[in-house]
Amino acid sequence: MWESFSCLSYYILGIALFDEVFFMKKHINASLKCIRYGVLFHRADGCPDEFFNYAHREDAEYHYRLMRNDDSGLYRQVDFLIITKGLPIISKSLHFDVEEKI
């Protein structure tokens, strides 16, 4: 009888561990699939670059499109970023003809 109890205990423990590993694996996979968007402004005056983080692509693209006709001279480049698995990828870029003001 003790052997059958022992086997049953291991069986229950195995199910519990399997569920825990399955949950963790599912959570990790979901976080790796998480896609974020960003707009990165490269300053021309030597100040630190500005980065804006978005959960929705439409919001990031709206902010990016606002800069198409920028004539302020503050930025030398604006990048639209897609961030997957923690790695940013430059999807598109705007370049401005400005003198570096360092």
40 and 90 belong to one structural domain? yes
Q: How many domains does the chain have?
A: 2
Domain range enclosing 83: 35-95
CB 48 within 8 A of CB 14: no
43, pLDDT greater than 70: yes
Query: What pLDDT was estimated at residue 86?
Result: 83
CB 74 within 8 A of CB 55: no
Q: Does the residue 101 lie in any domain? A: no
Q: Which of 78, 94, 79, 89 is nearest to 36 (CA)?
A: 89
Q: Amino acid identity, residue 57?
A: R
Q: Does the residue 64 lie in any domain? A: yes
- Residue 21's pLDDT band, with cuts at 50, 70 and 90, is low
